[in-house]
Structure 1
Amino acid sequence: MKKLDKLVLALLASASLMAIQAQAQAPVRIGFVGELSGPQGALGQDQYDGFMMVVERNGGKLGGVPVQIIKEDTQLKPDVASQVVQRLIERDKVSIITGVTFSNIMMAIHRPVTEKEVFLIGSNAGPSPIAGAACSPYQFLVSWQVDQLAEVFGVHANQKGYKRVYLMAPNYQAGKDFLSGFKRTFKGEIIDEVYTALNQPDFSAELSQLAVTKPDGVFVFYPGGLGINFVRQYQQAGLLGKVPLMSGGAVDGTTLPALKETAIGVLGAFPWGPDLDNPANKRFVDEFERKHNRIPAAFAAQGYDAAQLLDSALAKVKGNVADKKAFMAALKAADFDSVRGPFKFGNNNFPVQDFHIQEVAKDARGRVSLKTVATPFKAQADNYHAQCAMK
């Protein structure tokens, strides 16, 4: 062989090696979609902060491979969310989309994402349709199905002997799911079921109407800024401490810094709490508090678990998300230490998990936080999983 031919072959081999190395080092692109602005922006930001803790701890990697996180704000507008995911998929070529705070946003993007065979790792919103007949093998929810946080309160109200309960929620998918969930397990009388506008800040008229009915308890779903307004106005109306307030989303790590002692005694429910006694949770809470100087909310815990799930799955496939069946199986295995304790997916790729009742109280350091007071549900699957065709 001539020297020139040998040189050409050497150059070709070198170029091929460089191309392989470049391909191996190309980051896995992940779109983070959340509600990051406006009154509900703290919820999406908390999800993002929890997710990024794992990425940053790992030096910009998940599963030992580099990742590029592209953050997008939906502004809590379904049409904006649809444009955002289209851009992430078509322009940015993401293989994975995570985050998603509100159920109306999840409903807007779920089909466009999963039909493109892009993996959707939801870390908050869990509307009933995608837990049931509209489920997809490309969805993996590390949070909960919306109804479950209400169903656990229905059981709690029964245990407390409440006979008459008043219900309130915003008029959108999650609000309807929450109240449906409560009614599914509560055995007493529903005095009234009131739906308010999604961004309504003033509840004085509704609270006046509520007070007249003299219920044994009140169950509401008001997340983020809505929850802050509602709890303050509930206290100002003289109801707090007189009529037990059971809430979905109104009291958590995103709202308690604003509510402080005003919320003492209000009840919340989640599969996770800052006081859960397991090594993974202690590490998470300690690192989050040192980094952000605040107690994490469930949104952060779920974002953190989403990153841990991806860390475990990407490691199993060595970053090769193009092998969709292998990556799907790696996600389904859920081989990570969740901050909530034992974790596994049901047939619809929603978690099967415990649900706790939590009371707003002061912790050992005198801070207003959440204290776990009961666990009515153990290893609970949602009520829609049988409608999902996946096994």
Structure 2
Amino acid sequence: MHRRMFLMSSAGVAVSALAPASGVQAADEPADFHIAGILAFSGAYGIIGKDMRQGVELAVADRGGKVLGKPIRVSWEDDETKPQPAVQKATRLLAGGAQMMFGAVGSASTLALQGLADQRKIPLLVTISADDKITRTNGSRYTFRTSNTLGMEIRMCVEFAKVKGLKKIYGVTADYQATRDGWDLFVAEAKKAGIEIVGNDYAPLGNRDYSVIVDKMARSDADGIAVIVTGNDAVTFLKQSGQVGLNKTKTQFGPVLQDETLAAAVGPAAVGVYSGVRYHFTVDNPANKKFVEAYRAKYNEWPSSFAGEAYDGISWWLDVVESTGSWDREKWVDAFAKSTRENSLEGKKVMRGCDHQAAQVGLWGIVIEGQAPLPPLTMKITDVFDASKLFDVCS
């Protein structure tokens, strides 16, 4: 069902994505600019893919649907929140002439696509996956991330716990390498701050029953609950913790725990939950105001973090491609590695040449009951962390 819903036409183009990237002549220009969009439309992170697609589609529409004088075509595929389908479907689209990849949602899928990008010398744009290994010093030449790293979000979690005065933390962590690494970092940073870890449980992706974990949390003397899960798993956890009133006795927070999309799925139990926010529609700058107005007009809803980050990243990428005036992918990569996005939806973003990670501010907020015309459950941004406090120096 999802594949029929999200797969777009993949008519052939005039040049193969496997052709040499350099020295492309005008006669070799493709018929269109073909993007392989590999996202999760099902599985644990399926709730995220729709919003990301909408963000990309609006970004394409905003530029008249063209780049380098050619129409932009995006072929969407569902990776089912799994690495193997991600690589299989991306490989098929690259064989059909895609000049770049966009995605994925889960970091495991993105890391698998990164290997393909390096092998085929095809750019990969990441706007949501947060595993720190995706952008590492002297890492992938062809991968760029314009959104948050898990490391910066974990640091925000620790800063929040310190400011909130939390003394004892019980955690629940998705049993997934990126989030396991995130929990390890949280533990190390929390201990430095004198915060005690009283427990942690790992839960499989797609977990349907958190009752045992929630019961242990309720019985513990923890005053804070660190929830390092997201997507449908975050929705399930918060619904079940809300059923027993955990939200009334302990502070629940996490790196990507809530935004308006996820809060709507949780319901009233989301109120009072704290979370890192990768993008928010209330950021006060001209670019964001214009985007929010256009997004609401097109989709009749407020843009989520996932939609905003997707729009912001792909807009930045397409502008840089346009600036090169070339179909040489190596020139795109070189230009993007040195680029700055002055008019990002979140403020200025600078692409770091050492690891291809965008340096940017970090947003933190709490779910509150929204007043019309805001969503019934909305994020109130409470803190903005400067990039200098969230990223190590680029060496």
Scaled to the shorter chain, the TM-score interval is 0.7 to 0.9
What's the offset of the Cα at 1:124? 0.8
User: Could you tell me whether the CA contact under 8 Å between 2:99 and 2:123 is conserved in 1?
Assistant: yes
Structure 1 residue 271: Cα displacement: 3.9
1:93-139 superposed Cα distances (whole Å, 9 cap, x missing partner): 22210121011111222112123210011111131223225721211
Residue 313 (structure 1) aligns with:
320
Of 237, 242, 251, the match for 1:244 = 251
Query: Of the candidates 136, 144, 150, which is equivalent to residue 148 of structure 2?
Result: 144
Q: Name the SS of the counterpart of 2:249 in structure 1.
A: coil
Match for residue 372 of structure 1?
A: 381
Tell me the residue number matched to 2:164: 160
Considering only aligned residues, what root-mean-square deviation do their CA atoms show, in Å?
Answer: 2.1
How far is 1:302 from its partner? 1.0
Count of paired positions:
365
Query: CA contact under 8 A between 2:48 and 2:306: conserved in structure 1?
Result: yes
- The answer on 1:179 being equivalent to 2:183 is yes
Partner of 1:11: none
Task: Say whether residues 1:61 and 2:70 are aligned partners.
Answer: no
> Which position in structure 2 is the counterpart of 1:112?
116
Instruction: Using structure 2 for the length normalisation, give the TM-score.
Output: 0.86
SS at match of 2:275: strand
Quick one: distance in 1 between partners of 2:37 and 2:329? Answer: 21
Report if the CA contact (8 A) 1:62-1:310 is conserved.
no
| Cα deviation 1:317-364 (Å, max 9, x = unaligned) | 12x232513542145313452111111112211111111220101334
Maintained 8 Å contact 1:46/1:297: yes
Alpha-carbon distance between aligned partners in 2 of 1:141 and 1:28, rounded to the nearest angstrom: 20
Distance across 1 between alignment mates of 2:243 and 2:61: 43
| Structure 1: distance between partners of 2:294 and 2:140 | 34
Alignment of 1:346-357 (within 5 A): 346=352, 347-357=354-364
Are residues 266 and 119 of structure 1, via their aligned partners in 2, closer, same or farther at CA, if it must alter by over 3 Å?
A: same
Structure 1 or 2, whichever has the larger Rg, is 1
Q: Which amino acid aligns with 1:239?
A: L
Cα displacement (A) at 1:35:
0.6
Maintained 8 Å contact 1:148/1:181: no
The answer to whether residue 351 in structure 2 is matched with residue 342 in structure 1 is: no
2:234 aligned with 1:227:
yes
Listed as ranges, the gaps of 5+ residues in structure 1 are 1-19
Q: Secondary structure at the match of 2:93?
A: helix
1 CA distance for matches of 2:75 and 2:337? 21
Deviation at 1:198, TM superposition (A): 1.0
Aligned counterparts of 1:117 and 1:74: Cα–Cα separation in 2:
21
The whole-number CA distance in structure 1 between the counterparts of 2:384 and 2:333 is 33
Please give the secondary structure, in 1, of the residue aligned with 2:162.
helix
In the alignment, the residues of structure 1 paired with residue 240 and residue 204 of structure 2 have an alpha-carbon distance, to the nearest angstrom, of 16
Q: 1:234 to 1:64 in 2, by over 3 A?
A: farther
In the alignment, structure 2 segments of 5+ residues that lack a partner are 1-24
Alignment of 1:1-391 (within 5 A): 23-24=28-29, 26-62=31-67, 64-89=69-94, 91-132=95-136, 135-186=139-190, 187=193, 188-318=195-325, 320-330=326-336, 332-335=338-341, 337-346=343-352, 347-365=354-372, 367-383=376-392
Contact 1:99 1:303 in 2 (8 A): no
Moved over 6 A (4+): none
Contact 1:317/1:330 (8 A) holds in 2: no
Deviation at 1:261, TM superposition (A): 2.7
Give the Cα–Cα distance (whole angstroms) in 1 for the partners of residues 52 and 389 of structure 2. 23
Select between 173-182 and 196-205 the one with higher mean Cα deviation. 173-182
Aligned mates of 1:323, 1:112 — CA distance in 2: 15
Question: How far apart are the structure 2 equivalents of 1:21 and 1:376?
Answer: 46
**Equivalent in the alignment of 1:7:** none
Q: C-alpha distance in 2, partners of 1:168/1:308?
A: 35
The superposition leaves residues 14-57 of structure 1 with CA deviations (integer Å, 9 ceiling, x where unpaired) of xxxxxx88755721211111011245222011111101101122
Contact map agreement 2:103 2:110 (CA 8 A) in 1? no
Kept in 1, the 8 Å contact 2:126–2:146? The answer is: yes
- TM-fit CA distance, 1:238: 1.3
Which SS does the other structure have where 1:98 is aligned?
A: strand
The CA deviation at 1:227 is 1.2
Determine the C-alpha separation between the residues in 1 that align with 2:132 and 2:38: 20
Question: For residues 353 and 21 of structure 1, what CA distance do their matches in structure 2 show?
Answer: 37
1:16 corresponding residue in structure 2? none
Amino acid at match of 2:149: Q
Deviations 1:117-162 (A, max 9, x none): 1001111113122322572121110111112212111111012221
